[in-house]
Structure 1
Amino acid sequence: MAVPAAAAASSPSEVAPAPSPPSAPVPAAARPNFLVIVADDLGWSDLGAFGGEIATPNLDRLALGGLRLTGFHTAPTCSPTRSMLLSGTDNHLAGLGNMAELTAPNQKDHAGYEGYLRPDVATLAERLAAGGYRTLISGKWHLGLRPEQDPHARGFQYSYALLQGASNHFGLDQATDPAKGSVYTRDGKVLPALEPGFYSSDSFAANLIYELHRSRRDTPDKPFFALLTFTAPHWPMQAPDEDIARQRGRYDAGFEAIRAARLARQEQLGLLPKGTAAHSPRAPRGGWDSLSAADKREAARTMEIYAAMVARMDANVGRVIAALRESGELDNTVIVFLADNGAEALDARTTGAKMLARYTAGADNSLGNLGKGTSYATYGPEWAQAGTAPSWLTKAYASEGGTRTVAFVNWKGLAHPGRIEGAYVGVADIAPTLLDYAGIPATGTSFEGRTVLPVTGRSAKAWLQGRAGSVHGADEPLGTELFGSRSLRKGDWKVTDIGDGQWRLFDIAHDPGETRDLSDTYPQKRDELAADWDAYARANNVILPDQAPYRP
């Protein structure tokens, strides 16, 4: 089915600016709409409102007018995060204890490691649909490839989905068989082809606008839950030529200069206390000054493409916001924006050579072709660590660089719009929060006649309304694990194991960059949190992998 011409792509310059106490039941007429936007591998400091130099006016406007969450955390990679977003529970229980394509041999065939969203999860979409919402998704799914795992079968009444976790942004790898390429479905049916002029961010925004129109026509009296999941700026680094041209020359100063400028800007914006220590980045090539002139040109170009992808995504968010404003639905819409994990440090030439070989083997990665659909490049660990600054490491690690992600909420009912809040909030808290706003129970282990996993996240509604001082208690252990990298947060204390089997203790309130290991000073606290992690692992059926094929 074609997308209406009015939803055709436009360039950025043409886009309109676009544990809490239970709440009282919400009257149906007063229930808000929900728009959840997920960016893929976006760095914590990439948006202007979070210290970046990339032009993101639409997202900045929403972030600055809402509540910026500097303590928001996800899983270290995408599909585990998405499973928690939709289930409200831990990824090891929801079926994504590891990513399907990276499951270790000793994890295979164990409950919680199916590689898709388990059927005993009542998804946020299912719960909201049963509660009288129209439910929509447009974009990346990455929670199962089979028909019964399609978003249309998991509660989304209107769906346009890329089933896999990544694809060519110009659609050149589109197929009808997941073994042969990227599969797209609409309302559960595999699409034989993509629309002419396809570019991922344009298509996902246009199709969400289309679904909003279609669902409003079908059920005009129902509020909506819309999930917009971009694949930008996930590799491959690809963007329209005109967008890349707008970024030319902006990254010639190199990794270190951009990282330093972002850190300074974060202090100016109040995102970081002045004098915050940033973790030293890994520099496998020795830093910018160690690169040859040719390597500098290539590195600057890949970051120009990345910035173009982020700017294009922002422009498409603007299109969606403009459509909601035109329909009169914007003022009654809770908007949640997040990245699914820290910035991606995988390097197609080194740490990702084996994983990406089937894509890069036939790609034209000459300088003049970078960014086109026939190229297949990554931007590497140095730029990624500019994106995660001041934090330690990147995507795939349970350090702050892998799990603390950019996030904000925009809603007329916020107690303190325009503020920055550093309290710990997790991705599993989103489902119970939205259900709380909708007046739909998030308790129990039964849903529509089937036994389901309990929602273990906490509603943040009372905190957002200024009726609670935090979402999680200071004594509540909050664990994470992926690829053998582990962490546990308890109040301001955190233990982190980056995958080498060593626990390190940090005071996150005073050291968000995880720069000072306090294990020798407070060994009992380290041991206490390590024991808490063991309890978390037992409760959530965590199986540490016997190998970790993904270690960027």
Structure 2
Amino acid sequence: MRHILSLLLIATVLYGCNSSSTNTETSSDKKDKTNVLILIGDDIAFGDLGVYASEIKTPNFHRLAESGVRFTNFHASPVCSVTRSMLMTGCNNIEVGLGSFDYSFYPASKGKAGYEGYLTRNAVALSQLFNDEGYEVLKVGKWHLGGEAAGGYTPLEWGFTKEFGILSGGSNHWNDLRMTPIFSDPDFMHKKFKEHWTLNGEKYNRPEGVYSGELYTKQMIDFIKEAKAEGKPWFSWMAFTTAHFPIQAPPELVEKHYKFYLEKGYEGLKQYRYERLKAKGLISHSAQPAPENDLVKKWSQLSQKEKEYQAKVFATYAAEIEDQDNRIGQILDYLKESGQMDNTLIVYLSDNGPEGMEAENPNTGNQVFGQWIANNYDTSFEGIGTANSSNYIGTAWANAATGGLSWWKWFIGEGGVRVPMIIVPPGASKDNYSRAGQMSNVVMSVKDLPMTILDYAGIQHPGDTYKGKKVVTPTGISARPFLDGKSDIVRNDKQWYAFELFGNAYIMQGNYKLIKVRKGMFGDGQWHLYDVVKDPSESMPLEDKMKDKFDQMLATYKQYEKDHQLVQVDESWNAFKAASEGN
């Protein structure tokens, strides 16, 4: 027996000597590490998913919700890249370069710290921390955090080990064309432009006729398969470009939605979703309808042909969401078949509310952009959804999509910042997880997600120093104690988070939201207080009834504003008129 034990000891030592000197983890150590799947929808409203009371059938989102937790009081930012900066770092947007973003700069902010318009090196990113732990770090789809002409860094410069997709804010869903022109080109009005596609940092020739959801999903599954074959844990950033404009979708998914939207129209859809959100407990049963918005057209103002056109555009938008659901189902099926579901944390969120841009609208659009579309794309009814179309849902459908909420993308009303978010902890299912299938209105910010993800992965954030360099300490809070059933809250009534963009600002503390929207962005320039759990439509101001709360929250925000040296924005400035390109 002693001889056998001696041989085993020698074999163990020899095996250890032959293993890599740079990685002393065993394969079982790697296998035990939690995989992370972050799924990001683009410009999807709180009321757009079937699992959030929509008429659009989303069975795979239901699969997620049945196993995990649906959050109904979760806040992102009102625009794409700003949300992504907070999701990547756990920090405030102003701390990491996204006090403005690449499609609209307030002139006085240019050149100032915090307003670079891309993710800066002031913070450490999730991708870097997972890379340090030996993960395959995978990015597929949209980036929109830098690396183009506007400056900043590509995914591979942020610790991703493999990447595929685009650096910009969106693209044609069927081919390699940009969604916007290059305005600096003197002849831009008369031609289309190519999008820059990459695969692992190299130019990628994107095939024509393959829909974005199919292309992205296949590549992500291939990346995960490669990681599994190598015995590595993986962190994945799966950033769909659905349902971002141009509104295009597989034609077989469009027709089934058309009749419904033609019958409902703008006001009918908003009322329908409002009632369903209330009935299913996704907003308070005491919630009032959202106030009418002066920027929104009335369905009755349209001709019959205009109604048919608009109904098909929104049916195509619904088809984009249905396609995204199908693609998520493919990823979930692969994880289940390959035995990885039990060891994977899954997070789904939309980056902001629905896009209300209308190129021809002088209030919320860019008329030059509209003319470029008219010159270069098929604007016929038959062309809607095809590769040679370039439509957007516009203010009226965006307003309708949010149901019981007000406003949409670019705005800090609940319709712009309250979005769907689902978390499924590793191994969770309706049979073995105590919170499976629950809905929760606990207060959460997008900057809480990185801390939650790190918590489940067992990775310690380095705080204010990373590899000898000073970085911003995140202010996000892990939701794991809540998800694990050890707490009934994520943030207590004293913890707060603040946000500012384009001179519009809000601060959340408990269920209360103090908000100010400038006149140049169609507000009144005054601070108002709301309980956004009881009053998600922000129609019942409380500042006169709760003066002490109002004063305390305003003082907290003013200190935040001072601490971060926020640039003061002229009351009349309009971010849409300043934007040279639509996001």
TM-score, L = length of structure 1: 0.90
Q: What is the CA–CA distance in structure 1 between the aligned matches of 2:214 and 2:424, rounded to whole Å? A: 23
State whether residues 70 and 271 of structure 1, in contact with CA within 8 Å, keep that contact through their aligned partners in structure 2: yes
Shift of 1:424: 0.8
State whether residues 153 and 188 of structure 1, in contact with CA within 8 Å, keep that contact through their aligned partners in structure 2: no
Alignment of 1:168-317 (within 5 A): 168-173=172-177, 180-191=193-204, 193-217=205-229, 219-220=230-231, 222-253=232-263, 254-282=265-293, 284=295, 286-317=297-328
Letter in 1 for 2:126: L
Residues 1:159 and 2:163 are matched in the alignment: yes
Q: What is the CA–CA distance in structure 1 between the aligned matches of 2:468 and 2:175, rounded to whole Å? A: 40
Match of 2:569 in 1: 545
State whether residues 172 and 373 of structure 1, in contact with CA within 8 Å, keep that contact through their aligned partners in structure 2: no
Residues 1:331 and 2:342 are matched in the alignment: yes
Shift of 1:283: 5.3
Q: What is the CA–CA distance in structure 2 between the aligned matches of 1:118 and 1:415, rounded to whole Å? A: 40
State whether residues 176 and 194 of structure 2, in contact with CA within 8 Å, keep that contact through their aligned partners in structure 1: no
Q: What is the CA–CA distance in structure 2 between the aligned matches of 1:194 and 1:354, rounded to whole Å? A: 30
Q: What is the CA–CA distance in structure 2 between the aligned matches of 1:194 and 1:367, rounded to whole Å? A: 27
Q: 1:148 to 1:142 in 2, by over 3 A?
A: closer
Letter in 1 for 2:518: G
State whether residues 279 and 515 of structure 1, in contact with CA within 8 Å, keep that contact through their aligned partners in structure 2: yes
- Which range moved further: 512-521 or 48-57? 512-521
Match of 1:372 in 2: 386
Match of 2:420 in 1: 406
Shift of 1:42: 0.3
Q: What is the CA–CA distance in structure 2 between the aligned matches of 1:269 and 1:131, rounded to whole Å? A: 42
Alignment of 1:23-172 (within 5 A): 29-146=31-148, 149-172=153-176
Shift of 1:483: 1.6
Q: What is the CA–CA distance in structure 1 between the aligned matches of 2:539 and 2:574, rounded to whole Å? A: 25
Q: What is the CA–CA distance in structure 1 between the aligned matches of 2:373 and 2:128, rounded to whole Å? A: 36
Shift of 1:43: 0.8
Q: 1:462 aligns with which of 473, 481, 498?
A: 481
Secondary structure of 2:108's partner?
Answer: coil
State whether residues 82 and 93 of structure 2, in contact with CA within 8 Å, keep that contact through their aligned partners in structure 1: yes
State whether residues 261 and 315 of structure 2, in contact with CA within 8 Å, keep that contact through their aligned partners in structure 1: yes
Identity %: 32
Secondary structure of 1:231's partner?
Answer: coil
Secondary structure of 1:488's partner?
Answer: strand
Secondary structure of 1:494's partner?
Answer: strand
Shift of 1:121: 2.1
Letter in 2 for 1:401: G
State whether residues 282 and 381 of structure 1, in contact with CA within 8 Å, keep that contact through their aligned partners in structure 2: no
Q: What is the CA–CA distance in structure 2 between the aligned matches of 1:395 and 1:535, rounded to whole Å? A: 27
Q: What is the CA–CA distance in structure 2 between the aligned matches of 1:43 and 1:311, rounded to whole Å? A: 14
Letter in 1 for 2:241: T
Q: 1:514 aligns with which of 538, 541, 545?
A: 538
State whether residues 485 and 497 of structure 1, in contact with CA within 8 Å, keep that contact through their aligned partners in structure 2: yes
Q: 1:286 to 1:117 in 2, by over 3 A?
A: closer
Q: What is the CA–CA distance in structure 1 between the aligned matches of 2:62 and 2:564, rounded to whole Å? A: 37
Q: 1:355 to 1:38 in 2, by over 3 A?
A: farther
State whether residues 119 and 152 of structure 2, in contact with CA within 8 Å, keep that contact through their aligned partners in structure 1: no
Letter in 1 for 2:303: S
- Extract structure 1 runs of 4+ deviating beyond 4 A: 26-29, 177-180
Q: 1:355 to 1:47 in 2, by over 3 A?
A: farther
Deviations 1:416-461 (A, max 9, x none): 1111110111111111111111111124222233332212211111
Secondary structure of 2:406's partner?
Answer: coil
Letter in 1 for 2:323: R
State whether residues 283 and 381 of structure 1, in contact with CA within 8 Å, keep that contact through their aligned partners in structure 2: no
Alignment of 1:350-499 (within 5 A): 350=361, 351-354=364-367, 356-357=369-370, 358-411=372-425, 412-413=427-428, 415-499=434-518
State whether residues 484 and 499 of structure 1, in contact with CA within 8 Å, keep that contact through their aligned partners in structure 2: yes
Secondary structure of 1:235's partner?
Answer: coil
State whether residues 41 and 242 of structure 2, in contact with CA within 8 Å, keep that contact through their aligned partners in structure 1: yes
Q: What is the CA–CA distance in structure 2 between the aligned matches of 1:43 and 1:444, rounded to whole Å? A: 34
Q: What is the CA–CA distance in structure 1 between the aligned matches of 2:378 and 2:569, rounded to whole Å? A: 35
Q: What is the CA–CA distance in structure 2 between the aligned matches of 1:531 and 1:363, rounded to whole Å? A: 50
Shift of 1:542: 2.3
Alignment of 1:527-538 (within 5 A): 527-538=551-562
Shift of 1:51: 0.6
Residues 1:505 and 2:505 are matched in the alignment: no
Shift of 1:52: 0.3
Shift of 1:40: 0.4
TM-score, L = length of structure 2: 0.85
Deviations 1:34-70 (A, max 9, x none): 1110000001011111010112111122123310000
State whether residues 90 and 540 of structure 1, in contact with CA within 8 Å, keep that contact through their aligned partners in structure 2: no
Deviations 1:128-179 (A, max 9, x none): 111232211101000002497111111111111210002111124169x988
Letter in 2 for 1:211: F
Shift of 1:355: 6.6
Q: 1:502 to 1:31 in 2, by over 3 A?
A: same
State whether residues 285 and 291 of structure 1, in contact with CA within 8 Å, keep that contact through their aligned partners in structure 2: no
Q: What is the CA–CA distance in structure 2 between the aligned matches of 1:232 and 1:318, rounded to whole Å? A: 15
Q: What is the CA–CA distance in structure 2 between the aligned matches of 1:475 and 1:113, rounded to whole Å? A: 29
Q: What is the CA–CA distance in structure 1 between the aligned matches of 2:176 and 2:203, rounded to whole Å? A: 16
Q: 1:409 to 1:273 in 2, by over 3 A?
A: same
Q: 1:356 to 1:55 in 2, by over 3 A?
A: farther
Task: Let me know the Cα RMSD of the aligned residues.
Answer: 2.2
Match of 2:190 in 1: none
Shift of 1:342: 1.0
Match of 2:15 in 1: none
Secondary structure of 2:109's partner?
Answer: coil
Q: What is the CA–CA distance in structure 2 between the aligned matches of 1:267 and 1:329, rounded to whole Å? A: 36
Matched pairs, number: 523
State whether residues 493 and 506 of structure 1, in contact with CA within 8 Å, keep that contact through their aligned partners in structure 2: yes
Letter in 2 for 1:541: Q
Secondary structure of 1:129's partner?
Answer: helix
Letter in 2 for 1:548: N
Shift of 1:106: 0.5
Q: 1:170 to 1:361 in 2, by over 3 A?
A: same
- Which range moved further: 200-209 or 516-525? 516-525
Q: 1:274 to 1:223 in 2, by over 3 A?
A: same
Q: What is the CA–CA distance in structure 2 between the aligned matches of 1:465 and 1:356, rounded to whole Å? A: 49
Q: What is the CA–CA distance in structure 2 between the aligned matches of 1:316 and 1:329, rounded to whole Å? A: 17
Structure 1 gaps of 5+ residues are 1-25
State whether residues 227 and 233 of structure 2, in contact with CA within 8 Å, keep that contact through their aligned partners in structure 1: no
- Which range moved further: 53-62 or 105-114? 53-62
Deviations 1:319-351 (A, max 9, x none): 111111121111211111000011111112212
Match of 1:343 in 2: 354
Q: Which has the larger radius of gyration?
A: 2
State whether residues 57 and 314 of structure 1, in contact with CA within 8 Å, keep that contact through their aligned partners in structure 2: yes
Shift of 1:308: 0.8
Shift of 1:228: 0.5
- Which range moved further: 162-171 or 147-156? 147-156
